[in-house]
Structure 1
């Protein structure tokens, strides 16, 4: 009799977990797809407007950051968005919750940051908002409280799946970055949520972010792939240290409008010379995929070096001045341009005859892997956004090289740094 009651209770709990996971998967993926589509639409409109008159390169960041400041002050409880660190704080403490207002806060602020030229992306905004959906759902039933981490991971996994059309990347990101451990409930909740997210992607016919057709890769390119991995690891440290440095320096400025003014000037002046740096810069990646460079000229050299150095700095300024976002999009963009740079350089100087498009794709994965210390997430994420697995093995190899190069140079990411790390 006691066994029967226990079995029925377990079935009831499993049913509740399943239904909750389905709801989380649908809400998180719907949020992610909505934010992605709205951002793409309005970013394209405003970027076109800014290209017609460079004054808007200054005006748009000023408008975006100012609106975000007032929204945060008067609508979102005057609390700073800390990005993924908010998730870690919630998971590490039973008393800390991700409050409901984090969903509109990150959705709206992430949207405004990118469409008005802030040099970051909506990925981290989506991750935190999706995690909040999982956190709020978990709070609705008493026995679900013990599975807070699992339901947060379910929301995160569904959000990443919807953004990048890769359910495996969604699960791996939740595992490698958020949970860092596997439980039976983790597998149940994340698999259900990403299945729902994948179904929604199918129903909405959501396209890959960078649909690319890769035909082959060559063994003789392996040394150059390794070189790309080492350079990606080093460049990711520039991105990480830039974010930490500027956040630390801007925190010393008490007047929020001074922060906004400084960021506006830096963003406006830089984007005027390098329009590719506007917003998430995915338009720049689409351009080099469509027309990869074949000659190593002075103009090409200056343009690429400018992007590789300035994108980390502008991302850091955007985040330090109150913009909402993270290092996902900047890592993908910087990695893509770094890959093109390496391919063009070795083809010109060493007559290597490597395929530039392969290096662009591998570079995106390598720099993301190094920036977040999650090589398997980067591997499946980039395969998902290109909808091609031809480069699976070279991407895996380079992601591991870039991660351990970055860890050797500097052991922290923007997610794991401490105050001591910032000062070092």
Structure 2
């Protein structure tokens, strides 16, 4: 009898939780798919025009960052977008909610940043906008106010699922990076939201980010995979410290137009020599998947090292000058080129006979794992965007090696460092 009475008392709240979770899943995944498709379309058009006329490599970032500045000043309450830090602040303090304007703010600013050449991606913009959908849902009903973290995680999981066609990655990202705790309601809201997102992906026949075929991998490649994991850990620390250092330096520049001017000059000049650094950089990965380099030459060495060093710097400049984004796409891009570099190097000088395409994929996961300290998210996310699980074991291994290498050198990510400041 007590059980029945308890269930009857909880049923109205549970019903609202279920309905809200389903709505959050639909809205967050629809937002993510829309932003992804619009960004891909316009980035391809503008990148092609810039390749035909190098002046656009300077003009496009200037336009994008300037428009973002005025939108933020006049439309979005003149508040800087802080990325995932905003979500962590909201979860750590029940009194802090994600306001409604964060949805259009991150959607529009993330889109403008990437299509106009800002060297980052839309992933973090999508995550924050999706989290805001969850936050708004819990604010609308007195019965649901206690479930702020659960609804935010539902929105984030649905957004990541839609972006990368990987439900498992969406769930794991919320657990490894956002919530870091589990309860029954969180599991319920997240599974429902991810279920709706997965259904929408299936209904719309969303393609994976990279369409490739992987046939096999060899056990003798394990030592080189471990080497790749160590190098990825080191490079991820460089990315993290670059973001923190350059943001600090740019914060001392009081005039916003000086920031935009400096960023435009640096972005334009660098992208002229390294076009693969334009926007999210996924076009560069598709290029090396199609035509992977097999010869180690001076030109190859300079181009790869340039990307490995300059991508973190340009990402940092983009974010520090007002662009919207994070380290998701940069990590995937840097990791892909690092994997190609390691494969080509060991094949040329050590006669390793490893498969370059495998190392490109493994490198993507390694760098992402090290950058966000989330090895299982990186594992399933990369398997999701390639729609292939052949490399499951080597990716798992390299993700763990890269994460703990990075933590050994520097214990913080861009996200956890920000959260540390909030708590201190």
Shared fold, TM over 0.5: yes
- What is aligned with 1:63? 63
Q: Partners of 1:238 and 1:413 in 2: how far apart?
A: 11
Deviation at 1:15, TM superposition (A): 1.3
CA-based RMSD: 1.1
Unaligned ranges ≥5, structure 2: none
Establish whether residue 351 from structure 1 lines up as the match of residue 351 from structure 2: yes
- What is aligned with 1:405? 405
Q: Partners of 1:213 and 1:418 in 2: how far apart?
A: 39
Q: Partners of 2:14 and 2:126 in 1: how far apart?
A: 27
- What is aligned with 1:93? 93
Deviation at 1:212, TM superposition (A): 1.5
- What is aligned with 1:393? 393
- What is aligned with 2:287? 287
**What secondary structure, in the 3-state scheme, does the structure 2 residue paired with 1:417 have?**
helix
**What secondary structure, in the 3-state scheme, does the structure 2 residue paired with 1:416 have?**
helix
Moved more, 183-192 or 7-16: 7-16
Call closer, same or farther: CA 1:417–1:207 in 2, change over 3 Å: same
Q: Partners of 2:7 and 2:374 in 1: how far apart?
A: 39
Deviation at 1:420, TM superposition (A): 8.9
TM-score of the superposition, structure 1-length normalised? 0.98
Q: Partners of 1:296 and 1:409 in 2: how far apart?
A: 29
Deviation at 1:16, TM superposition (A): 1.0
**What secondary structure, in the 3-state scheme, does the structure 1 residue paired with 2:239 have?**
helix
- What is aligned with 2:242? 242
- What is aligned with 1:39? 39
Q: Partners of 1:394 and 1:332 in 2: how far apart?
A: 16
Q: Partners of 2:405 and 2:375 in 1: how far apart?
A: 12
Contact 2:85 / 2:418 at 8 angstroms: preserved in 1? no
- What is aligned with 1:297? 297
Establish whether residue 107 from structure 1 lines up as the match of residue 119 from structure 2: no
TM-score of the superposition, structure 2-length normalised? 0.98
Unaligned ranges ≥5, structure 1: none
Contact 2:171 / 2:194 at 8 angstroms: preserved in 1? yes
Contact 2:85 / 2:419 at 8 angstroms: preserved in 1? no
Deviation at 1:88, TM superposition (A): 0.6
* C-alpha distance after superposition, 1:117-152 (max 9, x if no partner): 000000000000000000000111112111110100
* C-alpha distance after superposition, 1:171-211 (max 9, x if no partner): 00000000001110111000000010000000100000012
Q: Partners of 2:124 and 2:7 in 1: how far apart?
A: 40
* C-alpha distance after superposition, 1:300-355 (max 9, x if no partner): 11100000000000000000000000000000000000000000000000010000
Establish whether residue 340 from structure 1 lines up as the match of residue 340 from structure 2: yes
Runs of 4+ in 1 over 6 A off after TM superposition: none
Q: Partners of 1:411 and 1:200 in 2: how far apart?
A: 38
Establish whether residue 260 from structure 1 lines up as the match of residue 260 from structure 2: yes
- What is aligned with 1:163? 163
Contact 2:88 / 2:419 at 8 angstroms: preserved in 1? no
